[in-house]
Amino acid sequence: MDEALRPAAVDPPRGFFPARVDEKGRLKLPAAFQQYLNEIGEKRVFITTLDVATVRIYPNSLWKQNENFFDERSLTDPERSENIAFLADHYGADSEVDSQGRLLVPQELRRELNLENQPVWLNHYKGRINLYGKEEYDRRMQRARANAPADLRELEKMGLR
Protein backbone atom coordinates (compact mmCIF):
# COMPACT_ATOMS: atom_id res chain seq x y z
CA MET A 1 0.00 0.00 0.00
CA ASP A 2 1.19 3.50 -0.82
CA GLU A 3 2.43 5.32 2.32
CA ALA A 4 0.26 8.33 1.49
CA LEU A 5 -2.86 6.12 1.50
CA ARG A 6 -2.04 4.23 4.70
CA PRO A 7 -4.16 5.43 7.65
CA ALA A 8 -2.33 7.19 10.46
CA ALA A 9 -1.69 5.10 13.55
CA VAL A 10 -4.11 5.78 16.35
CA ASP A 11 -2.60 6.45 19.75
CA PRO A 12 -4.29 4.39 22.45
CA PRO A 13 -5.24 5.89 25.81
CA ARG A 14 -2.37 5.96 28.33
CA GLY A 15 -2.65 5.41 32.04
CA PHE A 16 -5.44 4.00 34.17
CA PHE A 17 -9.02 5.23 34.01
CA PRO A 18 -11.54 4.67 36.80
CA ALA A 19 -14.98 3.40 35.83
CA ARG A 20 -17.84 1.37 37.28
CA VAL A 21 -19.85 -1.69 36.34
CA ASP A 22 -23.47 -0.82 37.21
CA GLU A 23 -26.08 -3.11 38.78
CA LYS A 24 -27.19 -4.24 35.29
CA GLY A 25 -23.65 -5.24 34.31
CA ARG A 26 -23.02 -2.29 32.02
CA LEU A 27 -19.59 -0.71 31.88
CA LYS A 28 -19.57 2.96 30.91
CA LEU A 29 -16.37 3.38 28.94
CA PRO A 30 -14.36 6.51 29.71
CA ALA A 31 -14.43 8.97 26.81
CA ALA A 32 -10.80 8.20 25.87
CA PHE A 33 -11.68 4.54 25.22
CA GLN A 34 -14.85 5.41 23.34
CA GLN A 35 -12.82 7.72 21.12
CA TYR A 36 -10.10 5.11 20.64
CA LEU A 37 -12.57 2.41 19.54
CA ASN A 38 -14.26 4.90 17.18
CA GLU A 39 -10.92 5.92 15.67
CA ILE A 40 -9.89 2.32 15.00
CA GLY A 41 -13.35 1.64 13.55
CA GLU A 42 -14.45 -0.96 16.12
CA LYS A 43 -17.80 -0.84 17.90
CA ARG A 44 -18.07 -4.59 18.48
CA VAL A 45 -15.82 -6.23 21.05
CA PHE A 46 -15.32 -9.61 22.68
CA ILE A 47 -15.25 -9.42 26.49
CA THR A 48 -13.66 -12.30 28.40
CA THR A 49 -10.96 -13.39 30.80
CA LEU A 50 -7.99 -15.63 30.11
CA ASP A 51 -6.62 -15.72 33.66
CA VAL A 52 -9.81 -15.54 35.80
CA ALA A 53 -8.37 -12.39 37.41
CA THR A 54 -8.76 -9.60 34.84
CA VAL A 55 -11.28 -8.81 32.13
CA ARG A 56 -9.99 -8.38 28.62
CA ILE A 57 -11.97 -6.32 26.13
CA TYR A 58 -10.80 -7.13 22.62
CA PRO A 59 -11.76 -5.25 19.47
CA ASN A 60 -13.27 -7.99 17.28
CA SER A 61 -10.46 -7.82 14.73
CA LEU A 62 -7.89 -8.51 17.48
CA TRP A 63 -9.93 -11.34 18.98
CA LYS A 64 -10.09 -12.98 15.52
CA GLN A 65 -6.27 -12.94 15.51
CA ASN A 66 -6.34 -14.76 18.85
CA GLU A 67 -8.77 -17.34 17.49
CA ASN A 68 -6.34 -17.96 14.62
CA PHE A 69 -3.52 -18.21 17.16
CA PHE A 70 -5.44 -20.88 19.10
CA ASP A 71 -6.11 -22.78 15.86
CA GLU A 72 -2.42 -22.74 14.92
CA ARG A 73 -1.24 -23.66 18.43
CA SER A 74 -3.73 -26.51 18.67
CA LEU A 75 -1.30 -28.47 16.48
CA THR A 76 1.82 -27.81 18.60
CA ASP A 77 0.41 -27.22 22.10
CA PRO A 78 -3.15 -28.53 22.00
CA GLU A 79 -3.87 -28.84 25.71
CA ARG A 80 -2.73 -25.33 26.66
CA SER A 81 -4.48 -23.76 23.67
CA GLU A 82 -7.68 -25.64 24.33
CA ASN A 83 -7.67 -24.74 28.03
CA ILE A 84 -7.33 -21.01 27.44
CA ALA A 85 -9.80 -21.00 24.53
CA PHE A 86 -12.25 -22.91 26.75
CA LEU A 87 -11.96 -20.26 29.50
CA ALA A 88 -12.36 -17.47 26.94
CA ASP A 89 -15.53 -19.04 25.55
CA HIS A 90 -16.96 -19.93 28.96
CA TYR A 91 -16.67 -16.41 30.38
CA GLY A 92 -16.79 -14.43 27.15
CA ALA A 93 -19.41 -12.79 24.99
CA ASP A 94 -19.67 -10.35 22.13
CA SER A 95 -20.80 -6.86 23.01
CA GLU A 96 -21.33 -3.60 21.18
CA VAL A 97 -20.70 -0.09 22.42
CA ASP A 98 -24.15 1.50 22.74
CA SER A 99 -25.04 5.12 21.98
CA GLN A 100 -24.12 6.09 25.57
CA GLY A 101 -20.68 4.46 25.41
CA ARG A 102 -21.62 1.39 27.47
CA LEU A 103 -20.73 -2.28 27.11
CA LEU A 104 -22.48 -5.22 28.74
CA VAL A 105 -20.04 -7.35 30.75
CA PRO A 106 -21.09 -11.04 30.66
CA GLN A 107 -23.00 -12.01 33.80
CA GLU A 108 -20.91 -15.00 34.84
CA LEU A 109 -17.69 -13.06 34.28
CA ARG A 110 -18.74 -10.10 36.39
CA ARG A 111 -19.95 -12.40 39.17
CA GLU A 112 -16.80 -14.53 39.14
CA LEU A 113 -14.57 -11.45 39.40
CA ASN A 114 -16.86 -9.56 41.82
CA LEU A 115 -17.44 -6.64 39.46
CA GLU A 116 -21.16 -5.95 39.92
CA ASN A 117 -21.83 -2.42 41.09
CA GLN A 118 -18.13 -1.98 41.88
CA PRO A 119 -15.40 0.46 40.90
CA VAL A 120 -12.99 -0.81 38.24
CA TRP A 121 -9.88 0.48 36.49
CA LEU A 122 -9.18 0.33 32.76
CA ASN A 123 -5.99 0.54 30.76
CA HIS A 124 -4.88 -0.23 27.23
CA TYR A 125 -2.32 -2.96 26.66
CA LYS A 126 -1.30 -4.77 23.47
CA GLY A 127 -4.36 -3.64 21.53
CA ARG A 128 -6.90 -4.67 24.17
CA ILE A 129 -8.55 -2.91 27.07
CA ASN A 130 -7.86 -4.48 30.46
CA LEU A 131 -10.39 -4.12 33.25
CA TYR A 132 -9.30 -4.67 36.85
CA GLY A 133 -11.63 -5.10 39.80
CA LYS A 134 -10.62 -3.54 43.10
CA GLU A 135 -9.03 -6.69 44.59
CA GLU A 136 -6.90 -7.43 41.53
CA TYR A 137 -5.96 -3.77 41.04
CA ASP A 138 -4.84 -3.49 44.67
CA ARG A 139 -2.88 -6.77 44.46
CA ARG A 140 -1.05 -5.66 41.33
CA MET A 141 -0.35 -2.20 42.73
CA GLN A 142 1.15 -3.72 45.88
CA ARG A 143 3.36 -6.04 43.83
CA ALA A 144 4.45 -3.26 41.45
CA ARG A 145 5.33 -0.90 44.29
CA ALA A 146 7.26 -3.56 46.21
CA ASN A 147 9.37 -4.50 43.18
CA ALA A 148 9.72 -1.04 41.62
CA PRO A 149 13.30 -0.16 42.69
CA ALA A 150 14.82 -3.45 41.51
CA ASP A 151 12.67 -3.64 38.38
CA LEU A 152 13.59 -0.08 37.43
CA ARG A 153 17.34 -0.68 37.88
CA GLU A 154 17.19 -3.73 35.61
CA LEU A 155 15.09 -2.05 32.95
CA GLU A 156 17.36 1.00 32.90
CA LYS A 157 20.32 -1.34 32.33
CA MET A 158 18.39 -2.67 29.31
CA GLY A 159 17.85 0.80 27.89
CA LEU A 160 14.75 2.27 29.53
CA ARG A 161 15.09 6.05 29.67
Span 50-98, pLDDT tens digits: 999 999 999 999 999 999 998 888 778 789 989 999 999 999 999 999 9
- Helix, strand, coil shares, percent, the chain, to 5: 45, 25, 30
Determine whether 24 is exposed, middle or buried from the number of CB atoms within 10 Å of its CB (0-12, 13-18, 19+). Answer: exposed
Q: How far apart are CA 161 and CA 154, in angstroms?
A: 12
Provide the domain limits for residue 23: 15-133
- Residue 8 domain-assigned (yes or no): no
Does the residue 26 lie in any domain? yes
- What is the average pLDDT score of the chain? 92
Query: Is residue 4 a part of any domain in this protein?
Result: no
What pLDDT, in 10s, does the model give residues 19-62? 999 999 999 999 999 999 999 999 999 999 999 999 999 999 99
